[in-house]
Amino acid sequence: MTLEGGTDLFLYYIALPFIAALLLSLFSRPHSKTFHPGWLVAIIPFVLFILFLTHSSGISEGQPLASLTNWIPSMGIQLSFYLDGLSLLFTLLITGIGFLVVLYSIFYLSKKENLINFYIYLLLFMGSMLGLVMSDNLFVLYTFWEFTSISSFLLIGFWSHRARSVYGALKSMMITVFGGLSMLGGFLLLWIATDTTSIREIISQKEELMASPLFTAILLLVLVGAFTKSAQFPFHTWLPDAMEAPTPVSAYLHSATMVKAGIYLVARLSLLFTGSDLFFLCVSGFGLVTLCWGSFMAVRQTDLKGILAFSTISQLGMIMAMLGFGSEAAIFAAVFHIFNHATFKGCLFMVAGIVDHETGTRDIRKLGGLMTFMPITATLAFFGTFSMAGFPLPIFNGFLSKEMFFDASLQTAAPSGLAKQAAPLFPYLAVLGSIFTFVYSMHLFFGTFRGKVQLDRLEKKPHEAPFGMLIPPFLLVCFIVVIGVLPNLINERLLAPAAGSIAGNPIHIHVAFWHGIKLPLIMSLIVVAAGALLSLFKRYWESIYLYLPGKLSADKAYQALLNSLLRGAKKTTSSYMTGSLSLYLAIIVLFLVCVTAGMMAATGGFAFSMADLSPVKWAEAITGFAMLLAAVATIFMKRRIAAVIVIGVVGYGLALLFVLFRAPDLALTQLIIETVTVVLFLLCFSHLPVMKPNSKPLRSKVADVLISLAAGTLITLVAISSHSSKWFQPISDYFVKTSYSLGGGKNIVNVILVDFRGLDTMFEITVLGLAALGIYGMIKIRLRKKGGMEQ
């Protein structure tokens, strides 16, 4: 493969949604009665979709594109982006489905909503996903990974006035960020093991990595990150609660973006881990368990979006299992189902939103018979649900990838040992999960659109949705039918390059509806027959949910774990948060002393040298002695004003030492700080606590003395050691030589602060600014409360 580019082109592609979000934030009016901002926002994903589509021909010919921009070169971190078959598939889904979701939201969301914020969050999420799937650098990928967690948190909690929305947003954030931190640990170990942060270079070191003692830890840490993001069992519990987001958000998260991020990560790194028994067992095993459990739990749901949430869990498990199977046929089937799932799941979420929008409820127990009132919506739902069920007709693209899934489960690339022994069980689990997939699909369609109409239980009289709301799901249904009839239409341009990127070599599989009466077809017929029977007689067996899972659930386990952590944190915190400032200071100082002294002892960090010492002059000695007396005298002061003045002596003495050591700028800074401190003390004088005689017991006084002596001794030893140790060339020499030539200034200290350490200074100023804003806010609140009390 050849690389083209070497330009920042893709950086501009990724930056476009972020820039659009920034510009959108400049709109001062969140509500508009005349113009919907979604029309402007829709331009961004549409343009990006066209731009990415223009690269498809070159990529299908084996010419991936790359761009590189230095970011943190000292750590080997570059803004390195790579567009091959796999990333192209995801970028087209992210932008294509993103365009349809924005179009759908224009008609779904009321203009009374805070639309500006909604679209800002959506654009941030879109840009984060694009950066994630195109990153070739581990830590750039991780950065975008966490951006997706933050932006999805904002989207899920968009209706912040609803408690369930806030709960769902927090839950998704906690679980996915936990997985992200685990993944970061795996990335750090990858960096240590391979000495590179480039994903392509890491994959090229596969043999060395598999022989590394860090391999198992890397694999497990990375998989935890992928499993949490893609809602694999047992981390799936966050996904149903994320349904509290507006339906356009749900359609986007489930069909093309966030939940597919973990799938993408496993697909991208599968070439690195394939051949490992642990990878095969974990990915295939957890994927099949997720498929079975998600489909089983979807049948019991009564909320349309709840059914779709658990169906997403099951479908993600199916894709994950195929990636674990490892064969070329399984990889191709996984890629094909990623595309098919995006079409029918995006369609179905939009249909669920239409039903909710036009009837006022998503409770399937209140619905039924809507085909009479909403024939177009029912037709769209028919194609979506039967494609998701894998019904064996050539107009449903879902059947094609489902049959390929069955075929792949029969021909896994199990390496050896336990993996080879477990592989024969996989076809049975595949059929079991698919049976319940068929059941929940029928439950969704027939429970909503067929049966008895219950108008008295609906908040609104049902009617067909506006034309604009029907266009996006209609376009997705067109893909379902066209790809079902002509599957090879996207094969060579999209599916084969994506599968080849995962496998590391070209994969060309001809997709056809009819392959003869073979075992995969028989498995599909078993699924349809068993699923139809279970659907017809559902009322006779659904009591099984009283026993499985019964009162147990992953959600309750999560809540119990969270509550125990909160109780433990509260108990721990209350043990030392007593309100005693002296206790807090003692804890901080003891921790500092123990850690620093321990490190110095362990590393042989203490050194004592009398070389290069300047003679101590009388002025310096007298000033130092005066500071010592003032510091000691502070302990014995009985009045507050005397204590403030004596403390000021110490500060002003330090400023005098700076003058004697020929550092006038530091002396001026110290004088200003000390003066401001004394003034603040005096301003707050009336609010200071009255100084009382020290009534501490003798034991506490002795402890205070020992802690003080330990802290002072440690600082003294550190100062002596830092002067006496010469482990490397002092950086001051570099500053002396380059402050004028590089910084253009003769004052070395100013050049260091403004040029060499400009970023540090900027953050320090930012912190001070935030502190000032906080103080200002507290003063305003206090004045407002005081004014209210006076009134």
pLDDT per position as a tens digit, 256-304: 778 889 999 999 999 899 888 899 999 999 999 999 999 999 999 989 9
Q: Does a structural domain hold residue 688?
A: no
386 and 243 housed in the same domain: no
Please compute the mean of the pLDDT values over residues 207-232 and round it to a whole number.
Answer: 92
Q: Alpha-carbon distance 492 to 508, whole Å?
A: 8
Q: Does a structural domain hold residue 651?
A: no
Q: Does a structural domain hold residue 109?
A: yes
* Among 537, 564, 597, residue at a domain's last position: 537
pLDDT at 8: 66
Please compute the mean of the pLDDT values over residues 735-762 and round it to a whole number.
Answer: 81
Range of the domain at 177: 1-273
pLDDT at 181: 94
pLDDT over 90 (residue 188): yes
pLDDT at 758: 76
Q: Does a structural domain hold residue 700?
A: no
pLDDT at 5: 42
Report the range out of 191-200, 315-324, 559-568 with the highest average pLDDT. Answer: 315-324
pLDDT over 80 (residue 73): no
361 and 217 housed in the same domain: no
User: pTM (2 decimals)?
Assistant: 0.81
302 and 198 housed in the same domain: no
- One-letter amino acid at 713 equals T
Please compute the mean of the pLDDT values over residues 341-364 and round it to a whole number.
Answer: 91
94 and 133 housed in the same domain: yes
pLDDT at 436: 95
519-530 pLDDT, tens digit each: 989 999 999 999
27: helix, strand or coil: coil
Q: DSSP letters of 400-459?
A: HHHHHHHHHHHS----SHHHHHHGGGHHHHHHHHHHHHHHHHHHHHHHHHSS---GGG-S
394-448 pLDDT, tens digit each: 899 999 999 999 999 998 877 777 878 888 899 999 999 999 999 999 999 999 9
Q: The tokens of 287 are what?
A: 């994927």
pLDDT at 1: 35
Average pLDDT, the chain: 87
35-62 pLDDT, tens digit each: 788 899 999 999 999 999 998 888 888 8
Position 2 confidence tier, pLDDT thresholds 50, 70, 90 = very low
User: Peptide bond before 693: cis, by omega within 30 degrees of 0?
Assistant: no
Q: Alpha-carbon distance 265 to 135, whole Å?
A: 11
Q: What is the CA radius of gyration of the chain?
A: 33
pLDDT over 80 (residue 515): no
pLDDT over 60 (residue 569): yes
* Among 243, 258, 273, residue at a domain's last position: 273
Count of CB atoms situated within 10 Å of the CB of 460: 12
362, 354 contact by CB (below 8 A): no
Count the domains in the chain. 3
pLDDT at 4: 43
327-338 pLDDT, tens digit each: 889 999 999 999
232 and 282 housed in the same domain: no
422 and 365 housed in the same domain: yes
Q: Does a structural domain hold residue 757?
A: yes
Q: Does a structural domain hold residue 711?
A: no
78: helix, strand or coil: strand
pLDDT at 3: 42
Helix (H) or strand (E) holding 83: strand 77-83
300-347 pLDDT, tens digit each: 998 999 999 999 999 999 999 999 998 889 999 999 999 999 999 999
pLDDT over 60 (residue 22): yes
396, 504 contact by CB (below 8 A): no
423 and 308 housed in the same domain: yes
6 and 103 housed in the same domain: yes
* Among 273, 304, 321, residue at a domain's last position: 273
317 and 204 housed in the same domain: no
Beta strands in 563-671 (DSSP E): none
Q: 499: closest CA among 274, 293, 267, 163?
A: 267
Q: Does a structural domain hold residue 658?
A: no
257 and 380 housed in the same domain: no
353 and 417 housed in the same domain: yes
Please compute the mean of the pLDDT values over residues 643-647 and round it to a whole number.
Answer: 80
CB neighbour list of residue 298: distance below 8 Å, 6 or more residues apart: 306, 307, 309, 310, 311, 313, 314, 436, 437, 440, 443
pLDDT at 676: 84
512 and 457 housed in the same domain: yes
Q: Does a structural domain hold residue 69?
A: yes
